[in-house]
Amino acid sequence: RTLQKSTSALPKSFCAQQQEDKLILAIVVYVKTVCCSLLPTRMNVGVAHSEVNPNTRVMNSRGIWLTYALGVGVLHIVLLSIPFFSVPVVWTLTNVIHNLGMYVFMHAVKGTPFETPDQGKARLLTHWEQLDGGVQFTSSRKFFTISPIILYFLASFYTKYNTTHFVINTVSLLSVLIPKLPQLHGVRILGINKY
């Protein structure tokens, strides 16, 4: 009942949009001892769960919020260790780089980095739209909405509310908050990033 991937023809298999599954009957099933389970497959085959799109659950896994917070902390420390930047500049830079990264990975990149058996439903959705299967106001969504706001507060404080910094930080914050609104779920303004 376990399947085998035809990896001998792997370059060929990249030509096709979907990979071919070879189903092996009878005595030939003996040949397959070490089954391929990491290869993204067409039909959850060799998969440990019935979730069609693992991307929906990644942000709920254990420890990922902590990792994210640590990542932002490491970014901040790296920027602080550059001798040219003053503290306000560093905070603004942290805020801007964090928001840029969040925008790119959550709101710009579409689809999944692996093939999913959901027949392409998630191909045109950004990661934010895929989270929890489109359900709004789950805890992950709230967390990722609040964290740029917290960073914004901290940056505003440490830049002593300087006008230039304020403008930059606010624009950056808005760029990452507005796509998170439930009203903008699936909306592509001016057709940018539609396909």
Partner 1 sequence: MSMHVYENISQNNTGVSLSNMADKFPIAAVGGVKLTRGRRFPTKRLRSQGRVGVRICLPLISNPTSSFKRYTSRVCSVRGVSSWRGRPTKMTESSATKLLNGDACHRTLHGKNASKNGYVKNHCLFQQSQKYRRAREKRQNATTNPSLYQKPFVESFEETPLLVAVLTYMGYGILTLFGYLRDFLRHWNIEKCHVAREREQQKDFVPLYQDFENFYTRNLYMRIRDNWNRPICSVPGAKMDVVERVTHNYNWTFEHTGTVVKDVINMGSYNYLGFAENTGACADAAVEVTHAYGAGVGSTRCEMGNLDVHEELELLIARFLGVESSMAFGMGFATNSMNIPALTGKGCLILSDELNHASLVLGARLSGSTIRVFKHNNMQSLEKLLRDAIVHGQPRTHRPWKKILIVVEGIYSMEGSIVRLPEIVALKKRYKAYLYLDEAHSIGALGPQGRGVVNYFGLDPKDVDIMMGTFTKSFGAAGGYIGGRKELIDYLRCHSHSAVYATSMSPPVAQQIITSMKIIMGEDGTSLGADRLRQLSENTNYFRRKLLDMGFIIYGNDDSPVVPLMLYMPAKIGAFGREMLKRNIGTVVVGFPATPIIESRARFCVSAAHTKEMLDTALAAISDVGDLLQLKYSRREQPLASLGWTSEESLLQD
* Interface with partner 1 (CB under 8 A): 1-5, 7-8, 10-12, 14-15, 17, 23, 25-27, 29-31, 33-41, 43-51, 54, 57-58, 60-64, 66-67, 70-71, 109-115, 123, 139
Minimum CB–partner distance for residue 67 and partner 1 (Å): 4
User: Is 108 or 177 the residue whose CB approaches partner 1 more closely?
Assistant: 108
Encoded tokens for 44: 């959850």
Minimum CB–partner distance for residue 143 and partner 1 (Å): 11
150 Cβ contact list (under 8 Å, min separation 6):
none
User: Is 24 or 154 the residue whose CB approaches partner 1 more closely?
Assistant: 24
Minimum CB–partner distance for residue 64 and partner 1 (Å): 6
Instruction: Please check whether residue 75 is in contact with residue 98, taking contact to mean a CB–CB distance below 8 angstroms.
Output: yes
Minimum CB–partner distance for residue 97 and partner 1 (Å): 14
User: Is 58 or 171 the residue whose CB approaches partner 1 more closely?
Assistant: 58
Q: Which residue has the tokens 């624009």?
A: 171
In angstroms, the CA 91 to CA 109 distance is: 26
User: Is 38 or 192 the residue whose CB approaches partner 1 more closely?
Assistant: 38
Q: Where do runs of H (alpha helix) occur along the chain?
A: 10-15, 55-58, 64-80, 87-102, 127-130, 139-158, 163-177
Minimum CB–partner distance for residue 10 and partner 1 (Å): 8
User: Is 145 or 170 the residue whose CB approaches partner 1 more closely?
Assistant: 145
In angstroms, the CA 147 to CA 142 distance is: 9
Side-chain-side CA neighbours of 129 within 13 Å: the count stands at 19
In angstroms, the CA 78 to CA 75 distance is: 5
